[in-house]
Structure 1
Amino acid sequence: MTAAGLTPLLPVALPAAAHAAPGSARPGFDLVRDGVAAEVFVDAADDPAVIRAAGDLQADVERVAGVRPELRHTLPERAAALVLVGTLGASPVIDGLAARGRLDVSRVRGRWEASVAQVVERPLPGVRRALVIAGSDRRGTVYGVYDTSERIGVSPWHWWADVPVEHRDTVTVPAGPLVRSEPSVRYRGVFLNDEENLTTWSHRTQEPDKNIGPRTYRRIFELLLRLKANYLWPAMHPYSDFFNAYRENPELADEYGIVVGSSHPEALLRNGVHEWEPWAREHRGADGALPVYDYTVNPAVISDYWRARARQNAAYESSWTLGMRGLHDSALETRNATTVPEKVAVMNDIIADQRRILAEEVGAAAAPQIFIPYKEVLDLYNAGVRVPDDVTLIWPDDNHGNMRQLPDEAERARAGGNGIYYHLSYWGRPRSYLWLDTTQLAKVWQELRRVYEHGADRVWIFNVGDLKSIETGLSFSMDMAWDVDRWGADDVEDFLAQWYGRQFGVRHAREIAAIRTEYYRLAAERRPEFIDRNVFSVVHHGDEAGRRMAAYDRLLARTRALGAELPAAYRDAYFELLEYPVHGACLMNLKYYWADRNALAARQGRGAGTNRFADLAEAAHAQEAALTRRYNTEVAGGKWDGYINPYPSQIPKAPGRPAVTRVARQETSGLGVAAEGNETGAQRPLSFDSATRDRRFVDVFNTGFLDVTWAAEANRPWVRLSSAGGTLTAQTRVWVGIDWARTPEGAHDVTVAVTGGGRRFEVPLRVVNDGERARRRARGFVEAGGWVSIDAAHTERRIARGGAHWRTVRGLGRRAAAVEAGPSTADPVTADFAARAPELRYRVHFRSTGTFPVTVFRLPSLDERGARRLALALDDRPPVILSGQAVATGNRGDAWARNVEEGVEKLTAAVTVGEPGEHVLRVFMVDPAITVDQIVVDTGGLPTAYLAPPESYHPVFNPHPETRPGLDAPDQ
């Protein structure tokens, strides 16, 4: 029986890059039937990683059926059903089945981490049926085991996200065969970084005598293997214990089959934060001075320091980081080398020294070796650092999900190949994002697809911060790393549906995927960790910030409604994986929204209303604190004590508790008005257009604390007011709309008069009605209100040229989708665009004439060897090239910092409209992989705001423009 009507997806879903033979008529294999579990055999001589994983299969079967299979190292004389687990070349039983043609290993043998699971009839004397799980190597077998666990309903996140395992009395897997082919990327893993919360939790709940130690790493290793990862850069910071502090850690990693490496400042598995100072104390100079971590000053001492670790860990499967940076993730120190050529020479000497050490201490097993040109090291690499051909180049992103540089043709031909270091979490400039998983999966897909097309397929390492909260993004990244072709530009949301279906059942999978997609979209507008004062306008575009908060409010309502339908057993997992991220992001934004309204109210001279907004801001902060406290102390019985914290002590520029203003109570009253588009008063008219059929607001407020009576009236009968008056203690928002069926055609100047407290305010309205016929006849985007706003995916026509094209990437950017020029390896086009460049066309109906600025919102992808350019033209006029920022500086306040904070770069040009009517706006690819999100033409009325205006009226793409009001405070 399924719980409360849930139909789990997991037991019948095949894992990514695993393929079942079609049309098999054989019955499935019963792991458990009638209270009896099939025994599990694994040869005692097989790898310890395989034997240990077979023990996990025991536990997983018991989780599902309540019956624990026996784990055997000798074959039974008789068995109706038996699970045979083994590695080719390490298990005589598996090798024998393959040799006799009973097990098809043609797509497995000799491959990297491949496996097959197949039911074999009468495989051995006395055995009627067997489920055979065979791997090409030790990890291939381990992955085959964990595939079986997933197929019977055990999520990889069953422990780390408290995903319940549904009980079934009969546990059956399909007959197969199920083949897991080689991964797209050889080494796939995570970097535990900025791990303050993980350390706190580990110390409190896992190992009180340690910060992060073997017990915690056991949990991490198992999770990685269940996700089909094989690689780890361990925690490195001062508040954790460094990995090699406990010899059990590398021993356990080897036992599990995890390859352990180290990050860019940790050469040859050394942790400078923890290990250099003790080493330096033991190697003082003749004068007693401590040696500094500078290869130009102390090469021998540093070389011996590296050699000791190479010797100590020589027996383990490791990844060896070459090169050097300063201690604690700082820049390379070179007191005796000041120029770039001198530093390049020093780096070459360092690499040569490290290579000698590895050859002498580790030998041929010293692979893979990697070089990570991170931050300043990239400049040195580009200036001439010589990296041996068999060393893997690990290309870093800009810490915000944009790849800085990709390998060229010569680098793609290197024997060591190429890889990437990619951030799903980050501490540093210009702002940190460690709290929630907020990088759009479509953005991850776009960048990973691009790096793979450029030959970076040897190593993919993902910075996941504390690990928890990155569950969805990490799962997607591992899926991509195994099979880069699994997901395409149109179906990233399908991953979400499948993944959440595995956690919560297929019944709600699509709705959860839609919720998560909208959550990512709102984060793409501005990560909740990046929120600050005065980011979103509370004055323009119908209260831009309020409209955004209304979207969060609707999203939270959907999230809660769905959560209420789940059985109680799923509530903890749902809170962790969906409700907390949505609600937490909402509250982080909400407190800053009310704080901005509070500041504006103070400037406007509001009385009780100023304090009301202060109350709301502080209440939102208190709610956020209570929500996090619930996560840490109540969810899963307090299992995650200390793990979830939006404000670790070390985060630079993290949002916190915004300051608010309060005014002293005075026994007075008075009336004030602020119309949309005006901080105070109503000087800027409210604009209404029959194309967009907007609604606009007028804030009516009390300048004191005693009640005031007010009234509002328009001088035209077809103007609608959401309220015509009443008694006011604090404030109210009056929404103004137009009854278009009753409005005469033409342009009209209208007034809404607001009176009360002995004062009268006149709010001007500008109403343009072209008539219903004109609206129906429009063929493109219609200029209204002084601008044209276009979602870039809403094209009239797309033209592919020169082997390149524009494609829609759903779930990417600030709207529902963005368009990307591809393939990413296409050649740039810098001339003769109409004949050679792929093109986007948008039909626009202009009412105005003149020369108007155009802003193209592009996603801020990088490639410091090239450029990010496109070309723009109106009708048949010559295109103008627009150039994007190409360099990630890491400096606050520059163009790159602004781009990554906002998630877009705004490229500007101008078009000249000679006569009103329909025109064609044309966008050409200049450089491949450029992605366009929105396009805005300012025809003279565009206010300054953070977001692009709501999309203009279009009879197909936007026939009913959004007029829903934003979030508002209670009137009183």
Structure 2
Amino acid sequence: MSNNKSNGWTRRSLLRGMAIAGVAPLLPGIAVAGQDELALVHDGSAADLFVDQADDPAVARAAGDLAADLARVSGVRPRLQRTTSGLSGTAVLIGTIGASPVIDRLIAEGRLDVAGVAGRWEASVTQVVRRPLPGVDRALVIAGSDRRGAVYGIYDTSERIGVSPWHWWADVPVARRGTVGVEAGTVKRGEPSVRYRGIFINDEQNLTTWSNRTQERDKNIGPETYKRIFELLLRLKANYLWPAMHPYTDHFNKHRDSVRLADEYGIVVGSSHPEALLRNGVHEWQPWAEAHRNPDGSLPEYDYTVNPGVIAEYWRARARENAAFESSWTIGMRGLHDSAFQTRHAKTVPEKVAVMNQIITDQRRILAEEVGAAATPQIFIPYKEVLDLYNAGVRVPEDITLVWPDDNHGNMRQMPTGEEQRRPGGNGLYYHISYWGSPKSYLWLDTTQLSKIWQELRRAHEHRVDRLWVINVGDIKSQEAGLSFCMDLAWDINRWGAGNVEDFLVEWAGRQFGQRHGREIAAIRTEFARLAAERRPEFVDRGSISLVHHGDEAGARMAAHEALLTRTRALGRQLPPAYQDAFFELVEYPVHGAYLMNLKYYWADRNALAARQGRGAGVNRYAELSEAAHAQEEALTRRYTTEIAGGKWNGVVNPYPSQIPQAPGRPAVVRVTPQQTSGLGVAAEGNETGAARPLSFSSYPRDRRFVDVFNTGFRSFPWRATTSHPWVRVSAISGTVTDQVRVWVSIDWQRAPLGRHEATVTFTGAGRSLSVPLRVHNDGEQARRRATGFVEAHGYVSIDAAHFHRRVPRGGADWRAVTGLGRRQAAVEAVPSTAVPITEDLTTRSPELSYRIRFTSTGTFPVTVFRLPSLDARGKRRLAIALDDGPAVVLSGQAIATGKKDDAWARNVTEGVEKLTGSLTVSTPGEHVLRLLMVDPAMVVDQIVVDTGGLPATYLAPPESYHPGAADRPAAAVDGFPNA
């Protein structure tokens, strides 16, 4: 648990800022120096910085960054002194407790308060002390419990004077001013919630390209690039790294300067699950094998059942080489380059378990002999097939940290048992916010909802997974917000809760772009992530989202994307020129890129539908629009890599890197030969063509329905619409059709008679008339006002799970709403995640959520519960539903993380939900109560849909049913998706 007493300066200081070019940055501690503040720069003079000669090099190096940051803000660079002689009257004294005599003397004299800091892990205190040294009137003292505690205290100060951790990596500008001050109050930063916090640079083709072009020239990620990465990690209060490891990248240990620099910065370097004892098998095994050939001249296999001696010496060499550095040692074995564990002479699971146990024993002996007591931490990562072996009996010594993986798509596969939680080595996690692999890859944009990250990582921490968090960030770029949140959460797990995760974005965006813009940027990022939760832009493919149902499901989604882009551009125009590059990188490019990726597939689907409908001009028009969207997307990325920040990011962003074949590309389109013909066609909502499925209208949701009036040829013609009743409305009664006109049909509910009625709209043109049938159900305004819950209409009831009318906690468990989670605005989670499952007497013992429903139909109806696809390989994933006082129906998630491309798990992670199905019987029409009951904890429910006989099969759930407080549906564009 975190012992943080403060995660920042006081609220008063937090809200101060200098109005620079119309921007009020949210930069805590920026203020003109007053009587309660200490001026670090004033009238062209800067306070000296002091770090004792005896202190750790990491502290002195970070102090140099503080000097550079003060220069960025003020234009004046302070001196960094290593002795106390001749220090300025105002100074900054920096040091590690026990390694800095000046710091230790102030503590001994009772002038520096280190209670809750001394003896802790990576803790620090920042305090103003009067006359700490001869000739120094006042000093800002930054003292760390250890070297990284001091380093974090330094970077804390940098951020508070206005330098974002992302100032270099995202070109966030630094507001300039002549006077720089910090508040004089004492600030303590206690121990972090998670001991080791860091990243895995993985599937790094883009980062490698960029590094080679802009940083290293003769290297594919080397010391110059790692300097930038190390500094970013420290500014984010991280301390841990799994370096890049793929074939197109130089392995970390190839350039020994990288290894040395990590230690100088204070970064703990480990290695990923296939890289035992810091060995990179992709690059290093082949040369080693060639130098240690078998007696017959053949190359030894990387198989411990065949060549244990050669492999053990291979590991030993690296242990000996890196023994002097602060490292993390990966124990166990997988195949080369992220392949499965190879055991030619061990075929059964028990045999493989025995081999793994022997490997662990031998590796431990190597570390004891070559590294000794410093060989800590040691970690075991039961990733993919190794998890099955672990569960089958692999014995991991108690002092080794178990690092639990997710399923590569943000769902933790397994949580430690109570016994595992008590292990001295503790527990860690390996979590993806970027991934290459099955069933689809997502490396391009930062698309994982922060509330999803919070829900999964919080759940892990509740299971005492707090020793190590490794976040797979791909190429780093594009993952700025997600990485920042992960590290912030790892530092203080309690800072953000179920209802305020978006506040992190408000604060984070405010620090990059100004406090007055933080709320709007946070709202944009939240909606961007919600749309990605429906389907990530990297997962977009053909025919997934309906063009014909629910008011054009795909068109409505595109309209939401376009509205978000319009909102984003409007905000961007308010920012000064200095902020444009950062805004493009962190906000505009993700929003615009996702829009264009979806757009080209939307038009490609429209193109295919038009071809099936036998259209003429529309087929070619939609083909052109799809290809134009792809060209715009290419131009947008080209702007990022050639223009933004003067071309600084050459190659770092690419939706289609050659090594990522799963990425969506340019969708195929068809064209037809133009003919001088014309013909009338219609496609009423719910039909690909024609109107066999009547348009349904209800006085409760009062929604509209569309009819596409289209041309089967290429020559324009006039058309006209007539209605069978005066209370049937159409958005247009006549016009000219070139390829398509979308006509919206609605009901004048004040004029329509009560009851059930049938009506028609008839379209005439090109010598033909086509009628569209309507079915209208009008219960009247009084019935609408009397509704107390969700009202069945159109053959279904659709419920957002967070819109319950009653919550009943029971047995120490409860449901809570988590905002910003799932496909809508919030989802509900059964908590705590450590609660005991309830399997008996569910309707009286289980915590429940209740939903009032007015049914007009009777019968036994299918019920689908949309839940987020969290996992637990050793447990169950169950919840239950009940109607009124009826029995509970248990619904169970069956999918397990297989890594395959075409099974239930693959479908769930692609869609972002698992659909649990059951049935309930409604014996009488009228008011009823649907009850959602917890069986297993940590189940997260997004939506609930009851199919009473009219529900078409679609990707998304239908629009939420009318209920008290529900707003009337907003009007959609007259011609469907705008810009058609």
Q: TM-score range by the shorter chain?
A: over 0.9
Query: Equivalences for 1:700-849 in 2 at 5 Å?
Result: 700-849=709-858
Distance 1:583 1:78, change over 3 A: closer
* 3-state DSSP of counterpart to 2:89: strand
* 3-state DSSP of counterpart to 2:750: helix
Gap runs ≥5 in structure 2: 1-17
User: Is 1:157 paired with 2:166?
Assistant: yes
* 3-state DSSP of counterpart to 2:260: helix
Distance 1:941 1:888 in 2: 33
Quick one: which amino acid aligns to residue 235 of structure 1? Answer: A
Q: Residue 66 of structure 1: which of 50, 65, 75 is its match?
A: 75
CA displacement at 1:839 relative to structure 2: 0.3
User: Is 1:462 paired with 2:471?
Assistant: yes
| TM-score, normalised relative to structure 2 | 0.97
Q: Residue 329 of structure 1: which of 311, 316, 338 is its match?
A: 338
Asked if structure 1 preserves the Cα contact closer than 8 Å seen for 2:30 and 2:181, the reply is no
User: Is 1:354 paired with 2:371?
Assistant: no
Asked if structure 2 preserves the Cα contact closer than 8 Å seen for 1:546 and 1:966, the reply is no
Quick one: which amino acid aligns to residue 267 of structure 1? Answer: A
Aligned equivalent of 2:540: 531
Q: Deviations over 1:845-895 (max 9, x none)?
A: 111111111100000000111111011100000111000125211111111
Which piece of structure 1 moves more, 249-258 or 123-132? 123-132
CA displacement at 1:960 relative to structure 2: 2.1
Distance 1:690 1:86, change over 3 A: same
Asked if structure 1 preserves the Cα contact closer than 8 Å seen for 2:227 and 2:261, the reply is yes
CA displacement at 1:967 relative to structure 2: 7.4
Distance 1:891 1:963 in 2: 42
CA displacement at 1:3 relative to structure 2: 2.4
Aligned equivalent of 1:584: 593
Aligned equivalent of 2:5: none
Query: Equivalences for 1:869-880 in 2 at 5 Å?
Result: 869-880=878-889
Query: Equivalences for 1:378-457 in 2 at 5 Å?
Result: 378-457=387-466
Asked if structure 2 preserves the Cα contact closer than 8 Å seen for 1:675 and 1:763, the reply is yes
Aligned equivalent of 2:7: none
Aligned equivalent of 2:926: 917
Distance 1:505 1:244, change over 3 A: same
* 3-state DSSP of counterpart to 1:116: strand
Aligned equivalent of 1:499: 508
User: Is 1:960 paired with 2:977?
Assistant: no
Distance 2:167 2:304 in 1: 47
CA displacement at 1:135 relative to structure 2: 0.1
* 3-state DSSP of counterpart to 2:410: coil
User: Is 1:613 paired with 2:622?
Assistant: yes
Instruction: Report runs of 4+ in structure 1 exceeding 4 Å deviation.
Output: 969-972
CA displacement at 1:13 relative to structure 2: 8.8
Q: Deviations over 1:903-954 (max 9, x none)?
A: 0000111111111111000010000000110000111111111000010111
Which piece of structure 1 moves more, 182-191 or 879-888? 879-888
Q: Deviations over 1:773-823 (max 9, x none)?
A: 000000000111111000000001000000000000000000000000000
Asked if structure 2 preserves the Cα contact closer than 8 Å seen for 1:549 and 1:967, the reply is no
Distance 2:952 2:519 in 1: 37
User: Is 1:882 paired with 2:882?
Assistant: no
Aligned equivalent of 1:303: 312
Q: Deviations over 1:652-705 (max 9, x none)?
A: 322110000100011111111111100110110001111000111100111111
Asked if structure 2 preserves the Cα contact closer than 8 Å seen for 1:427 and 1:652, the reply is no
Distance 1:835 1:538 in 2: 44
Distance 1:634 1:289, change over 3 A: same
Query: Equivalences for 1:308-319 in 2 at 5 Å?
Result: 308-319=317-328
* 3-state DSSP of counterpart to 1:321: strand
CA displacement at 1:563 relative to structure 2: 0.3
Q: Residue 118 of structure 2: which of 109, 130, 139 is its match?
A: 109
Asked if structure 1 preserves the Cα contact closer than 8 Å seen for 2:124 and 2:153, the reply is yes
Distance 1:63 1:967, change over 3 A: farther
Distance 1:607 1:970 in 2: 21
Distance 1:813 1:967, change over 3 A: farther
Distance 2:213 2:979 in 1: 46
Aligned equivalent of 1:8: 25
User: Is 1:512 paired with 2:521?
Assistant: yes
Q: Residue 208 of structure 2: which of 199, 214, 218 is its match?
A: 199
CA displacement at 1:289 relative to structure 2: 0.4
Distance 1:970 1:456 in 2: 48
* 3-state DSSP of counterpart to 1:622: helix
Asked if structure 1 preserves the Cα contact closer than 8 Å seen for 2:559 and 2:978, the reply is no
Distance 1:883 1:969 in 2: 38
Asked if structure 2 preserves the Cα contact closer than 8 Å seen for 1:542 and 1:966, the reply is no
Quick one: which amino acid aligns to residue 834 of structure 1? Answer: T
CA displacement at 1:26 relative to structure 2: 6.0
Query: Equivalences for 1:14-163 in 2 at 5 Å?
Result: 27-77=36-86, 79-163=88-172
CA displacement at 1:758 relative to structure 2: 1.1
* 3-state DSSP of counterpart to 2:336: coil
Quick one: which amino acid aligns to residue 711 of structure 1? Answer: R
* 3-state DSSP of counterpart to 1:296: coil
Which piece of structure 1 moves more, 146-155 or 725-734? 725-734
Aligned equivalent of 1:566: 575
Asked if structure 2 preserves the Cα contact closer than 8 Å seen for 1:866 and 1:886, the reply is no
Distance 1:574 1:699 in 2: 39
Asked if structure 1 preserves the Cα contact closer than 8 Å seen for 2:744 and 2:974, the reply is no
Q: Deviations over 1:588-638 (max 9, x none)?
A: 011100100100000001100111111111111011000000000000000
Distance 1:938 1:634 in 2: 52
Distance 1:964 1:541 in 2: 12
Number of matched pairs = 962
Distance 1:525 1:640 in 2: 30
Quick one: which amino acid aligns to residue 556 of structure 1? Answer: L
Asked if structure 1 preserves the Cα contact closer than 8 Å seen for 2:743 and 2:974, the reply is no
Q: Deviations over 1:454-483 (max 9, x none)?
A: 011000000000011000000000000000
User: Is 1:601 paired with 2:618?
Assistant: no
* 3-state DSSP of counterpart to 2:681: strand
Q: Deviations over 1:539-559 (max 9, x none)?
A: 100000000000001100100
Which piece of structure 1 moves more, 562-571 or 737-746? 737-746
Asked if structure 1 preserves the Cα contact closer than 8 Å seen for 2:30 and 2:162, the reply is no
Asked if structure 2 preserves the Cα contact closer than 8 Å seen for 1:750 and 1:765, the reply is yes
Aligned equivalent of 1:19: none
* 3-state DSSP of counterpart to 1:268: helix
CA displacement at 1:428 relative to structure 2: 0.3
CA displacement at 1:77 relative to structure 2: 4.0
* 3-state DSSP of counterpart to 1:906: strand
Distance 1:463 1:652 in 2: 19
Distance 1:967 1:235, change over 3 A: farther
Distance 2:346 2:337 in 1: 21
Query: Equivalences for 1:624-639 in 2 at 5 Å?
Result: 624-639=633-648
| TM-score, normalised relative to structure 1 | 0.98
Gap runs ≥5 in structure 1: 15-23
Q: Deviations over 1:198-239 (max 9, x none)?
A: 000000000111110000000000000000000000000000
User: Is 1:657 paired with 2:666?
Assistant: yes
User: Is 1:928 paired with 2:937?
Assistant: yes
Distance 1:13 1:412 in 2: 43
Asked if structure 1 preserves the Cα contact closer than 8 Å seen for 2:843 and 2:888, the reply is no
Q: Residue 852 of structure 1: which of 855, 861, 868 is its match?
A: 861
* 3-state DSSP of counterpart to 1:11: coil
Distance 1:578 1:78 in 2: 44
Distance 1:176 1:304 in 2: 55
Distance 1:961 1:64, change over 3 A: same
Q: Residue 338 of structure 1: which of 327, 343, 347 is its match?
A: 347
Asked if structure 2 preserves the Cα contact closer than 8 Å seen for 1:86 and 1:141, the reply is yes
Aligned equivalent of 2:13: none
Give RMSD over aligned pairs.
1.3
CA displacement at 1:747 relative to structure 2: 1.1
Distance 2:187 2:713 in 1: 73
Asked if structure 1 preserves the Cα contact closer than 8 Å seen for 2:556 and 2:977, the reply is no
